[in-house]
């Protein structure tokens, strides 16, 4: 294997781990923000219920006040009935009293309906309070967990960055290091990763088969081999290829031809 490529394989492992840590931190931040939004939504839902309860309370107070006014009016009407002297006045007062009683009945029915709505809203408020408390507790718990994980990830990322910088410096100091790093960065920027393992005569990045000659060159680990002096790229996807003999499947041994008895007889003549 080309010496630059051996170090680039390690560099890619560092880069992938750094990306994983950054993605994890971003994901935790996003999850915490989503939980905060959910917690705020439960507070908003409870506020709506509280507003509806307040409206029902105000409505019942208004209805009670109107009922009290009508009862007062009905009492005055009774006094007038006791003092009336004509049939016409009596009929008018009785008609007015009947209307007042019907209004009282209507308002009492409305008040009862409002009380029933209020009881339903009170039950909803209990559930809303529980939801607010649960969401707040979940947010606090997950926020603490995320903060701890992010702090740990940042520390690991800082250590990893030191290793990455040191390794890139080491690669750059070789005769071909600058060229190898430029190729690595260009492919990684384009494809996300720059290096792929050649396994079982396939590029593991694109799963395309390698030409037999390319495969043989990659598998030749001798000091004077072409793979020791050149970095091979996948001819299909462009990834830089490396070969690990420890991970390759055992190669099939060629079958030994069994000579037939007739062939043996012909050969012996």
Residue 227 and residue 137 in one domain: no
- The range of the structural domain enclosing residue 29 comes to 3-170
Give me the CATH number covering residue 120.
1.10.287.1490
Residue 28 and residue 148 in one domain: yes
Residue 41 and residue 83 in one domain: yes
Domain endpoint, select from 103, 136, 170: 170
**pTM, rounded to two decimals:** 0.72
Residue 120 within any structural domain of the chain: yes
Residue 52 and residue 132 in one domain: yes
Residue 145 within any structural domain of the chain: yes
Residue 105 and residue 203 in one domain: no
DSSP track, the chain = --HHHHHHHHHHHHHHHHHHHHHHHHHHHHHHHHHHHHHHHHHHHHHHHHHHHHHHHHHHHHHHHHHHHHHHHHHHHHHHHHH--SHHHHHHHHHHHHHHHHHHHHHHHHHHHHHHHHHHHHHHHHHHHHHHHHHHHHHHHHHHHHHHHHHHHHHHHHHHHHHHHHHHHHHHTSTTHHHHHHHHHHHHHHHS--EEEEETTEETTT-PBPPHHHHHHHH--STTSGGGT---B-TTT-PEEEE-GGGSPPPPPPPPPPPPHHHHHHHH-
Residue 262 within any structural domain of the chain: no
* Cα 215 → chain centroid: 41
State the pLDDT at residue 166.
96
φ, ψ dihedrals at 235, nearest 5° = -75, -10
Residue 150 and residue 41 in one domain: yes
Residue 144 and residue 67 in one domain: yes
Residue 233 within any structural domain of the chain: yes
- Non-local (6+) Cβ contacts of 149 within 8 A are 24, 25, 28
Residue 130 and residue 73 in one domain: yes
Domain endpoint, select from 153, 170, 187: 170
Residue 162 and residue 51 in one domain: yes
Residue 94 and residue 212 in one domain: no
Residue 97 within any structural domain of the chain: yes
Residue 236 within any structural domain of the chain: yes
Domain count, the chain: 2
Residue 252 within any structural domain of the chain: no
Question: In a structure prediction context, what are the per-residue pLDDT tens digits for the chain, which is 269 residues long?
Answer: 889 999 999 999 999 999 999 999 999 999 999 999 999 999 999 999 999 999 999 999 999 999 999 999 989 888 888 787 788 888 888 899 899 999 999 999 999 999 999 999 999 999 999 999 999 999 999 999 999 999 999 999 999 999 999 999 999 999 999 999 999 999 999 999 999 999 999 999 999 999 999 999 899 878 778 878 889 999 999 999 999 888 876 554 444 444 443 344 334 43
Task: For Cα atoms 222, 226, 232, give the angle at the middle one, nearest 5 degrees.
Answer: 120
State the pLDDT at residue 110.
94
Residue 223 and residue 100 in one domain: no
Question: What is the distance between the alpha carbons of residues 180 and 253, in angstroms, rounded to a whole number?
Answer: 36
Residue 128 and residue 26 in one domain: yes
Domain endpoint, select from 136, 170, 204: 170
State the pLDDT at residue 250.
55
Residue 100 within any structural domain of the chain: yes
State the pLDDT at residue 265.
34
């Amino acid at each position: 294997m080309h010496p630059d490529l051996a170090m680039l394989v390690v560099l890619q492992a560092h880069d992938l781990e750094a990306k994983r840590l950054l993605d994890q931190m971003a994901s935790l931040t996003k999850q915490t923000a989503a939980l905060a939004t959910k917690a705020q939504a439960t507070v908003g839902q409870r506020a709506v219920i509280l507003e509806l309860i307040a409206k029902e309370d105000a409505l019942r107070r208004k209805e009670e006040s109107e009922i009290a006014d009508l009862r007062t009016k009905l009492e005055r009407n009774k006094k007038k009935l006791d003092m009336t002297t004509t049939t016409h006045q009596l009929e008018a007062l009785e008609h007015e009293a009947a209307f007042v009683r019907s209004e009282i009945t209507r308002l009492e029915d409305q008040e009862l309906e409002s009380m029933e709505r209020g009881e339903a809203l009170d039950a909803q408020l209990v559930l809303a309070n529980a939801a607010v408390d649960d969401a707040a507790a979940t947010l606090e718990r997950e926020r603490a967990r995320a903060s701890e994980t992010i702090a740990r990830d940042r520390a690991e990322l800082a250590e990893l960055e030191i290793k990455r910088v040191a390794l890139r410096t080491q690669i750059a100091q070789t005769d071909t290091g600058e060229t190898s790093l430029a190729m690595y960065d260009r492919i990684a920027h384009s494809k996300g990763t720059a290096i792929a393992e050649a396994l079982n005569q396939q590029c593991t990045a694109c799963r395309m088969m390698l030409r037999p000659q390319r495969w043989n060159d990659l598998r030749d680990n001798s000091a004077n081999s072409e793979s020791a002096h050149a970095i091979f790229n996948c001819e299909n996807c462009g990834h830089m290829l490396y070969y690990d003999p420890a991970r390759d499947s055992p190669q099939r041994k060629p079958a030994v031809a069994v000579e037939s008895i007739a062939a043996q007889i012909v050969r012996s003549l």
